[in-house]
């Protein structure tokens, strides 16, 4: 496994990340203001339709995060690169947060439209399973001290979890239960497409920023672990003892 600290300055985050973060933050405010002020109430749902501008982008962005997990995990198994493992872990954490947000927003939307906060609908259940898989992924990482074993097991769970995403996406077509068919610019009234697109683009910028920032934090933590291990080894060399194992934090 190659060190995450090789060939880079661990203290500095690239400037483009901060720029994307600022642009994304301003863009999401602008997109939400546009959605509130410019898009008309839905014929059936009224103003509840505005929840779509946060619920649908959150779901789409979680899918993108899990695609990054898939790419990072496969690349780790192929190259054994620590950077790929850290990227997959960063995207998995962001994706889990977004999946939880998607379920919360769906619940808030479901209560006034379906009459229930939760139902064992195919889309809701498969999304909940996806969340459980990635909470398990994060728990696995926190319980495993050995970095190589942690990366290997995480890659396996990450690939398994990411392969669940097509099931979540297709669930509303395969099992016609309560959830509506996927919302996209192709299935929406044109009055709502611009606001949905703007919110999705803004959310994408924010997600790129968050994954990049989480990746930077993971690199810093890996550097701190490597530094602690080197110091423990040099201390034990001086003391003439067997080196102590350094627990990953």
Partner 1 sequence: MSEWNYVIAAYAVTWGVIFGYGLYLVARKRSARQRITALEQQ
Query: Which residues are at the interface with partner 1 (CB under 8 A)?
Result: 10-11, 28, 32, 45-48, 50-51, 54-55, 58, 94, 97, 100-101, 104-105, 108-109, 111-112, 206, 210, 213-214, 216-217, 220-221, 223-224, 227-228, 231, 249
Question: Closest approach of Cβ 28 to partner 1, in Å?
Answer: 8
Question: Closest approach of Cβ 60 to partner 1, in Å?
Answer: 14
Question: Closest approach of Cβ 42 to partner 1, in Å?
Answer: 10
Task: Kindly tell me which of 11 and 15 has the beta carbon lying closer to partner 1.
Answer: 11
Question: Closest approach of Cβ 176 to partner 1, in Å?
Answer: 25
Task: Kindly tell me which of 184 and 231 has the beta carbon lying closer to partner 1.
Answer: 231
Task: Kindly tell me which of 129 and 227 has the beta carbon lying closer to partner 1.
Answer: 227
Task: Kindly tell me which of 182 and 229 has the beta carbon lying closer to partner 1.
Answer: 229
Task: Kindly tell me which of 32 and 177 has the beta carbon lying closer to partner 1.
Answer: 32
Question: Closest approach of Cβ 114 to partner 1, in Å?
Answer: 12
- Find residue 42's DSSP bridge partners: 46
Task: Kindly tell me which of 128 and 220 has the beta carbon lying closer to partner 1.
Answer: 220
Instruction: Find, among 161, 155, 8, the residue nearest to 78 by Cα.
Output: 155
Question: Closest approach of Cβ 61 to partner 1, in Å?
Answer: 12
């Amino acid at each position: 496994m190659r060190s995450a600290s090789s060939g880079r300055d661990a203290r500095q985050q690239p400037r483009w990340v901060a720029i994307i973060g600022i642009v994304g933050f301003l863009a999401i405010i602008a997109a939400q203001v546009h959605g509130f002020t410019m898009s008309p109430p839905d014929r059936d749902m009224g103003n509840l339709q505005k929840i779509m501008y946060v619920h649908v982008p959150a779901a789409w962005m979680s899918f993108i995060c899990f695609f990054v997990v898939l790419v990072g995990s496969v690349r780790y198994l192929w190259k054994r690169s620590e950077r790929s493992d850290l990227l997959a872990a960063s995207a998995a954490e962001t994706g889990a947060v977004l999946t939880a947000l998607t379920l919360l927003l769906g619940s808030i939307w479901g209560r006034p439209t379906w009459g229930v906060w939760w139902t064992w609908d195919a889309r809701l259940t498969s999304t909940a399973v996806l969340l459980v898989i990635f909470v398990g992924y994060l728990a696995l990482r926190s319980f495993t001290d050995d970095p190589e074993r942690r990366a290997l097991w995480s890659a396996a769970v990450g690939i398994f979890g990411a392969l669940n995403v097509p099931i979540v996406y297709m669930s509303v077509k395969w099992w016609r239960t309560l959830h509506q068919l996927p919302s996209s610019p192709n299935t929406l009234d044109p009055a709502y497409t611009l606001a949905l697109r703007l919110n999705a683009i803004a959310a994408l910028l924010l997600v790129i920023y968050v994954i990049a920032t989480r990746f930077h934090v993971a690199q810093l933590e890996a550097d701190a672990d490597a530094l602690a291990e080197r110091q423990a080894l040099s201390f034990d060399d001086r003391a003439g003892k067997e080196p102590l194992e350094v627990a990953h934090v």
